[in-house]
Amino acid sequence: MAMFSRRQIPEATMFSLASLADVIALGIERKRSEEALALYSHELTSLSMASDTLLLITNLNDIYQEICNTISQCLI
H helix intervals, 1-76: 11-56, 60-75
Share of the chain above pLDDT 70, in %: 91
> Once rounded to an integer, what is the mean pLDDT over residues 14-43?
95
Q: Compute the C-alpha angle 33/34/40, nearest 5°.
A: 90
Asked whether 9 and 25 are in contact (CB, 8 A), the reply is no
pLDDT at 56 over 90: no
Query: Where are the domains positioned within the chain?
Result: 11-75
pLDDT band of 76, cuts 50, 70, 90 = low
pLDDT at 1: 65
> Once rounded to an integer, what is the mean pLDDT over residues 30-59?
87
pTM: 0.56
